[in-house]
Structure 1
Amino acid sequence: MARKAAGYDAGEKDTVEYLTKLFEAAKFEIQREMDLGDRPRFDLVVSREELGRYRKFVVELVLVQDARGLVDKYEQLVSYSRSRKVQDIDEYWLVSNLSLPDRPRIHRSRFPNVRAFTVKELERMLARLSPKRSAPKGKAKTKIGKAIEANEKEIVLAIEGLMLQVNDKLAKLRDERPNDPDAVKKKDDAIAEFEDMRAELERIKVAVQQLKKNEVKEKDVVQTVTTFKDTIGKWWNKNHDAICSTASNSALFLTATGLLHAIGADSTAALTIAGSLIGGETVAKALKALPRSLFKKEH
């Protein structure tokens, strides 16, 4: 990623300051790259605790008059993210006054860790994360309901993040061209499995948002979440070896168990994994040590 030219346009500098205030209101920790020298690499590096761990995001601001000028900027960010020059960055965000044009050569679904927002879109997203001063007293009776009351915004973001991983998995599966009939059936079964998973995540997202507005019964939300938990349990039991040996499957499974833990649907799976990793085990070794009967009713 090329470093920025020395000096900042006044409009860009003011916008960076404005974004900094938005991130601070949403409880992000801020590192302003422009304060580190005359030739910064990025405008902002921000971090925030999500699902028990700190995630770091690079923010690159580009103000343009023609949206087509964003295409090269986006591709430069993709190239930089793939170079892994900075190892601890979770996502790269391109923020602009205009929307990134849809171009076939961009293949945005293939790079879920590189995202593009307009300033207005980022405002809305960060506003959802900003804590409210007066939260109403909770009425939920179940563990799942209480978790949603306490952390609805974080849970919705976690759902959206997991959906991105599922979409990426589906895109890669659909690109496969197996010839063997058994391999074709295996691919079709996997696509159906992940499509069902995505549909259940969408239902959970809607249910979570409706519960906060008292538009759905708590027991119905619990059932929706439990259905997804059962789906993840069946996927684990059926594809245990593939989940342990494939990086994308391992990452998706870890995110799913983290979501279940955040939403109050499961603690054993997430805590067992976390305990193994804290103990120094690799992800693959930690997963292989987990029993197939890992999932049980805990709500």
Structure 2
Amino acid sequence: MKVKRFIVSSLLHILLAFITFVWIIPIIWLVVTAFSGYKGIDISHFFPETWSVNNFATILFKPDSVVQYVTWFKNTLIIAIFTCIISTVFIFMVGYAFCCLRFPGRKQLMVFSVVLNMFPGVLSMIAVYFVLKSLGLTNSHIGMIIVYSAGSGLGFLIVKGFMDTIPISLRESARLEGANELEIMLNIILPICKPIIVYQVIASFLVPWGDFVLAKLMLNSGLSKDWTIAIGLYNMLDKSLINKYFSIFCAGGLLVSIPISILFIIMQKFYVEGVSGGAIKG
């Protein structure tokens, strides 16, 4: 039995190692290509024959009609920050309402919200586009913030799951001391919910930071100064540009991952606590 378990375990680890190797190959290729001295796409060599940091210098300090990375980065960062703040507030408030308040239709509304959240967002993209177009908010960063954050309250389930683990006696004691609902939410529930709030901040930040489909649909004026990073980098893959900008595209893809990686490393402890705590059924 020990030999059998050893063989099964070894085969499983070999399989996982192979899957990991296959998964990491494109990432390694992107990194080494970003440091290539050749600006186009070179499929004849996995590792570049010459190494250089000129691609990073070009994308950061030498903007042209195709590459305006700093402007795209600023646009994406503004949209992501405001979306992150608004979405986190919405989700926290909705989660608190469903967890801590009792009102007619609460369970029915909760079930409806969960079911509605199961439908893919792409199904509503065209309708959302025409609504924003009628309001004059297409090709607008404000419109993008509204699109990303307006329906964020439907993602309350993990936050509610975390709040369900907080003893009811804390809220009841506060009420006996004369605290109102707002004071209970801000002074008692909010400090305890720090891990799940950190999780929600990272999750809400990631949505606009890496989104392409919705951004491409909404920001369609053709003015590159309004683009996000995803649109700008995708534009470099045009068949007329790829042989001149592919290595620069790889450098931009590498740079765009740095801020969110740093944010995740700094907040990893709270992120894990938030996910595990929110998964507990109250």
- Compute the TM-score of the two structures, normalised by the length of structure 2: 0.29
Relative contact order higher in (CA < 8 Å, ≥ 6 apart): 2
Higher helix share: 2
Q: Which is higher, the Rg of structure 1 or of structure 2?
A: 2
- Compute the TM-score of the two structures, normalised by the length of structure 1: 0.28
Higher strand share: 1
